[in-house]
């Protein structure tokens, strides 16, 4: 539960809600240089970093990847696993930049939980929307900097 309390995405959840999340939580490890997922892969899982660094990359062309963000302790990635769309795929590559420990949740299991506990689902998705907005602002600033 203490690991869950360190995750920004979960900061609005009360202890009862965190207990429900804990039951669905798995820990997973990745070695430096290992891909967690790639752009276009089926978005099955949501992740949060508890140790290490993860780089989010976009494919510029067939031979070039561009680092667009670095995710560190307390931050999350793989939000596409919670968005119910026809093409449920990840929007970027996620690569461990160091040996990394992650918390992992199956997106379908979370959607079922949120269907039972609407308040919890609302609070988590509200936090994810804020995080996504901030990342989009950073990405936009990077994009504008390229074309100055």
Question: How much is the pLDDT for 84?
Answer: 67
| pLDDT at residue 140 in the model | 74
Residue tagged 């449920």 (tokens): 88
- Lay out the sheet containing 100-106: strands in order across: 26-30, 100-106, 45-51, 76-77
Average pLDDT, the chain: 91
> Model confidence over 57-105: pLDDT tens digits?
987 777 788 888 899 999 999 999 998 667 789 989 999 999 999 999 9
- Residue 22 CB neighbours (<10 A): 12
Residue 67's pLDDT is 85
pLDDT at 144 over 70: no
pLDDT of residue 148: 67
């Amino acid at each position: 539960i203490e690991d869950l309390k360190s995750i920004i995405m979960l900061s609005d959840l009360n202890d009862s809600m965190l207990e429900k999340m804990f039951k669905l939580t798995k820990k997973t490890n990745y070695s430096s240089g290992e891909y967690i997922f790639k752009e276009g892969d089926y978005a099955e899982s949501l992740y949060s970093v508890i140790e290490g660094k993860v780089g989010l990359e976009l494919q510029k062309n067939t031979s070039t990847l561009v680092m667009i963000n670095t995710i560190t302790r307390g931050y999350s990635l793989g939000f596409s696993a919670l968005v119910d769309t026809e093409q449920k795929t990840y929007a970027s590559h996620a690569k461990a930049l160091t040996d990394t420990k992650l918390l992992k949740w199956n997106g379908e299991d979370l959607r079922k939980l949120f269907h039972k506990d609407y308040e919890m689902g609302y609070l988590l998705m509200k936090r994810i929307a804020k995080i996504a907005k901030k990342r989009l602002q950073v990405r936009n600033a990077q994009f504008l900097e390229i074309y100055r």
